[in-house]
């Protein structure tokens, strides 16, 4: 991605700069009504209630003003401008220093990118962002042991997790070791039978199969029993992981994990596949030091497509090295060099170039479907093969499994929602929702937890119980609430059999009769954090435009500030007072609609998984009426030339006076 330096900061740009500043007082083009739309083009009745947005004696500010007067939207949120007074000034400084359009500068400033970092952010370089791998604890020991295995042609086994991060980590390592002359075996545990992470039986199986070295990827940091068994039978183990871990570590030759408490590398934001890539960088450096290569070393950059996929799907922040991984990895994807990724994109019916959205919502779920309800090894097998015929077969199988998973999810969510509703009173209820059933599939509970979290704006757990009353569950959290730490504390308190995870996601195993204790524990520990998180229920909006302002030029500019994902949110735009000319249910509970502005320009939109929710009901009930609509813009490449469409996130009725 090259920075745009062809025009001065205040010179002409494809999209006028007056689309953005909240302080603008006039606009010669109604397509580009700025955030001040409601102050310029609507009646005073659209302004927010002064009591809600002013403090006596002080003027309104972007921090207090309800954009378009929306103090409670269909999803119960207040709409506010993303940029504060201070960040607006920051945006101006970025635009002037980098010589970039105002719109890009405002997107960057709104996401915390400061003036000094803007240049590198717009053109992320692996060379400049890549740390010395040796800054990670145990990295040198891991590289040396791996180099020994390469030189000795040892039997190496790769033990990976069954999610996308685990599959991409395993495929990346397998491709690298294969290029070095080894024949690594990939072992992905069965989610139902074996559960998460290495187990003693698997270690014995790998040893019997000829392995002298096992690499555990995206797992292993807390696998004490399994790694102790490996030590007893003379099996070397190297761990490359990123999950949070306590002070006590399992026995192994090296444990590379930037989230170890004694690791000071500052790379704790990496997904496991990002850590695996650093291990391979260290390995190649060690092999070069030993003069192993007679010619060129393998090109690690050619496998950044796998790193990008795992990074996006594990929802780690797209900042620093992660941003470079994804930016360069998506470029690699466009070459379709990985047969498995190409086949998966085809069965996913991706139109146009791949984006982080496609990775996270189309490709990732299909890979995960194998681990959830089918053969957990399918994803790693797909991503590590060069056989186009086999890749097509596996991709088709994953696509079918994903359809089965979707049907299963609908039935489970209905039951989970009934349980959640039963404990909610007028929107209030427990700080953390804990649901469960004997009929639920343990591979789908994470999705149910995520949906319940979204609907009720609080952390949620979904637990699948077996016939013996042992529950396997997943939890999803909200910003500001560390669920992983709470689960680990519950394990230490003796409430859970085992558990762990990240701040935003966690897994656990619990006896049914300890569920009441778990609920009390979570309530006491997290109630204050959850309350604080729920109070901050705001939709931050980057700009207000009309349908005719949603142009290909605008999308081109926005791409310069991408890619977007966790930690670098997509820009959100408001379409003020647009008429809903069409709205109907489509697919699995989605709502498709068309919106028209007063100038008769129109834009198509879709709101996902909301047909039975307040947002979907508001959209369906507004046919022929005016609505403020907010969402993210994307390109639809269906049937030829790309067209801009909106992924709708929220809506609100205009107040009296706007017609």
Write out pLDDT tens, residues 523-556.
999 999 999 988 878 999 998 999 999 999 999 8
Residue 330 placed within a domain: yes
pLDDT given for residue 8 in this prediction? 33
pLDDT given for residue 60 in this prediction? 65
Same domain assignment for residues 503 and 556:
no
pLDDT given for residue 10 in this prediction? 34
Contact between residue 347 and residue 147 where contact means Cβ atoms under 8 Å apart:
no
pLDDT given for residue 32 in this prediction? 39
Same domain assignment for residues 568 and 522:
no
CATH classification of the domain holding 579: 2.40.50.140
DSSP-assigned letter for residue 654: P
Average pLDDT of the residues of the chain: 88
Same domain assignment for residues 391 and 464:
no
Same domain assignment for residues 527 and 574:
no
Same domain assignment for residues 142 and 182:
yes
Same domain assignment for residues 526 and 550:
no
Which helix or strand (DSSP H or E) is residue 313 part of? helix 304-313
pLDDT given for residue 244 in this prediction? 84
CATH classification of the domain holding 366: 3.90.1640.30
Task: Compare 479 and 45 and report the one with higher pLDDT.
Answer: 479
Structure tokens at 657: 């006076």
Contact between residue 416 and residue 455 where contact means Cβ atoms under 8 Å apart:
no
pLDDT given for residue 179 in this prediction? 97
pLDDT given for residue 3 in this prediction? 33
Structure tokens at 136: 């990670």
Same domain assignment for residues 522 and 547:
no
Contact between residue 62 and residue 90 where contact means Cβ atoms under 8 Å apart:
no
Q: Which of 381, 398, 415 finishes a domain?
A: 398
Residue 187 placed within a domain: yes
Residue 94 placed within a domain: no
Task: Compare 212 and 59 and report the one with higher pLDDT.
Answer: 212
38 to 88, 575, 583: CA distances (angstroms): 19, 11, 25
Handedness of CA 37, 43, 46, 51 (dihedral sign): positive
Looking at the chain, the whole-number percentage of residues with pLDDT higher than 90 is 75
What would the pLDDT profile of 216-271 be if each residue is shown by its tens digit?
999 999 899 999 999 999 999 999 999 988 889 999 999 999 999 999 999 999 99
Residue 550 placed within a domain: yes
What is the per-residue burial (b if ≥16 Cβ within 10 Å, else e) of 396-405? ebbbebbeeb
Q: Which of 537, 564, 598 finishes a domain?
A: 537
pLDDT bucket at 308, cuts 50 / 70 / 90: very high
Residue 189 placed within a domain: yes
Per the listing, tokens 């294969």 go with: 178
Q: Which of 508, 537, 566 finishes a domain?
A: 537
pLDDT given for residue 351 in this prediction? 81
Q: Is the confidence at residue 57, as pLDDT, over 50? A: no
Same domain assignment for residues 285 and 428:
no
Residue 251 placed within a domain: yes
Kindly report whether the peptide bond that precedes residue 143 is cis, defined as omega within 30 degrees of 0: no
Which of 87-96, 274-283, 495-504 has maximum average pLDDT? Answer: 274-283
Mean pLDDT of 194-210: 94
Range of the domain at 532: 423-537
Same domain assignment for residues 251 and 327:
yes
What would the pLDDT profile of 138-197 be if each residue is shown by its tens digit?
999 999 999 999 999 999 999 999 999 999 999 999 999 999 999 999 999 988 888 889
Alpha-carbon span 8 to 3, nearest angstrom: 12
- Of 454, 477, 479, the C-alpha closest to 649 is 454
Q: Is the confidence at residue 645, as pLDDT, over 60? A: yes
272-289 and 139-152 helices cross at what angle (nearest 10)? 60
Per the listing, tokens 């959850």 go with: 530
CATH classification of the domain holding 491: 3.10.310.30
Residue 569 placed within a domain: yes
Contact between residue 450 and residue 417 where contact means Cβ atoms under 8 Å apart:
no
643-652 and 626-636 as β-strands: parallel, antiparallel, unpaired? antiparallel
Structure tokens at 179: 């290029």
Same domain assignment for residues 388 and 462:
no
Number of domains in the chain: 3
Mean pLDDT of 79-102: 93
What would the pLDDT profile of 107-143 be if each residue is shown by its tens digit?
999 999 999 999 988 888 898 999 999 999 999 999 9
Secondary structure class of 115 (helix, strand, coil): helix
Handedness of CA 352, 356, 358, 359 (dihedral sign): positive
pLDDT bucket at 656, cuts 50 / 70 / 90: low
Same domain assignment for residues 574 and 615:
yes
DSSP-assigned letter for residue 254: E
Distance of CA 69 to the CA centre of its chain: 31
Secondary structure class of 521 (helix, strand, coil): helix
Handedness of CA 455, 461, 466, 469 (dihedral sign): negative
pLDDT given for residue 588 in this prediction? 84
pLDDT given for residue 412 in this prediction? 97
478 contacts: CB under 8 Å, gap ≥ 6:
453, 457, 458, 459, 530, 533, 534
Looking at the chain, the whole-number percentage of residues with pLDDT higher than 70 is 90
What would the pLDDT profile of 468-504 be if each residue is shown by its tens digit?
999 999 999 998 999 999 999 999 999 999 998 878 8
Residue 628 placed within a domain: yes
Secondary structure class of 169 (helix, strand, coil): helix
270 to 45, 252, 300, 600: CA distances (angstroms): 48, 22, 17, 46
pLDDT bucket at 424, cuts 50 / 70 / 90: confident
Ranges 440-444, 597-601, 616-620: which has the least confidence: 597-601
Same domain assignment for residues 166 and 313:
yes
- What is this structure's pTM? 0.84
């Amino acid at each position: 991605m090259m920075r745009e330096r062809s025009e001065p900061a205040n010179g002409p740009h494809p999209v006028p700069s007056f689309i953005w500043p909240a302080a603008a007082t006039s606009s010669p083009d109604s397509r580009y009504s700025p955030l001040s739309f409601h102050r310029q083009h609507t009646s005073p009745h659209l302004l927010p209630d002064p009591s809600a947005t002013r403090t006596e004696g002080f003027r309104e500010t972007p921090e207090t003003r309800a954009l378009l007067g929306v103090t409670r939207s269909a999803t119960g949120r207040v709409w506010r401008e993303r940029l504060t007074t201070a960040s607006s000034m920051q945006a101006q400084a970025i635009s002037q220093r980098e010589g970039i359009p105002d719109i890009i500068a405002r997107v960057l400033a709104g996401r915390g990118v400061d003036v000094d970092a803007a240049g590198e952010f717009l053109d992320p370089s692996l060379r400049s962002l890549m740390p010395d791998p040796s800054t990670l604890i145990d990295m040198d020991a891991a590289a040396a042991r791996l180099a020994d295995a390469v030189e000795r042609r040892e039997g190496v086994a790769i033990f990976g997790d069954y999610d996308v991060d685990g599959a991409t980590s395993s495929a990346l390592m397998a491709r690298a070791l294969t290029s070095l002359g080894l024949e690594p075996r990939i072992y992905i545990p069965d989610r139902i039978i074996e559960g998460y992470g290495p187990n003693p039986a698997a270690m014995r199986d790998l040893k019997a199969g000829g392995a002298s070295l096992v690499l555990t990827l995206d797992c292993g940091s807390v696998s004490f029993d399994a790694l102790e068994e490996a030590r007893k039978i003379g099996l070397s183990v190297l761990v490359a992981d990123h999950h949070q871990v306590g002070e006590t570590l399992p026995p192994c030759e090296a444990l590379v994990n930037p989230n170890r408490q004694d690791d000071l590398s500052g790379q704790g934001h990496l997904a496991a596949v990002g850590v695996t890539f650093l291990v391979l960088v260290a390995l190649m450096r060690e092999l070069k030091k030993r003069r192993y290569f007679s010619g060129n070393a393998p090109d690690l950059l050619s496998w950044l497509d796998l790193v990008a996929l795992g990074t996006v799907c594990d929802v780690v922040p797209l900042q620093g090295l992660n941003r470079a991984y994804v930016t360069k990895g998506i470029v690699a994807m466009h070459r379709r060099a990985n047969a498995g990724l190409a086949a998966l994109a085809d069965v996913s019916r991706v139109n146009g170039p791949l984006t982080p959205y496609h990775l996270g919502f189309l490709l990732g779920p299909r890979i995960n479907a194998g681990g959830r309800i089918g053969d957990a090894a399918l994803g790693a097998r797909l991503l590590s093969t060069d056989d186009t015929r086999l890749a097509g077969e596996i991709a088709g199988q994953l696509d079918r499994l994903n359809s089965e998973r979707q049907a299963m999810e609908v039935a489970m969510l209905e039951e989970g929602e009934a349980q959640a509703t039963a404990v909610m009173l007028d929107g209030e209820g427990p700080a953390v929702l804990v649901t469960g059933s004997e009929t639920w599939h343990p591979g789908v509970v994470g999705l149910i937890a995520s949906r319940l979290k979204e609907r009720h704006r609080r952390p949620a757990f979904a637990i699948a119980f077996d016939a013996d009353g042992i529950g396997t569950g997943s939890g999803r959290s909200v910003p500001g609430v560390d669920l992983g730490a709470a689960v680990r504390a519950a394990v230490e308190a003796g409430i859970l059999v085992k558990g762990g995870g990240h701040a935003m996601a966690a897994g656990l195993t619990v006896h049914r009769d300890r569920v009441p204790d778990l609920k009390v524990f979570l309530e006491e520990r997290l109630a204050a954090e959850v309350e604080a998180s729920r109070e901050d229920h705001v939709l931050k909006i980057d700009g207000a435009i009309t349908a005719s302002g949603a142009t290909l030029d605008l999308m081109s500019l926005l791409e310069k500030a991408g890619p977007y994902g966790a930690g670098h949110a997509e820009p959100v735009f408001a379409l003020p007072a647009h008429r809903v000319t069409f709205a109907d249910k489509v697919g699995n509970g989605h709502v498709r609609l068309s919106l028209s502005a007063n100038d008769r320009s129109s834009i198509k939109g879709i709101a996902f998984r909301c047909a039975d929710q307040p947002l979907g009901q508001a959209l369906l009930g507004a046919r022929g009426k005016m609505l403020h609509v907010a969402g993210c813009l994307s390109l639809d490449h269906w049937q030829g030339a790309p067209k801009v469409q909106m992924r709708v996130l929220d809506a609100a009725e205009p107040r009296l006076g706007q017609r």
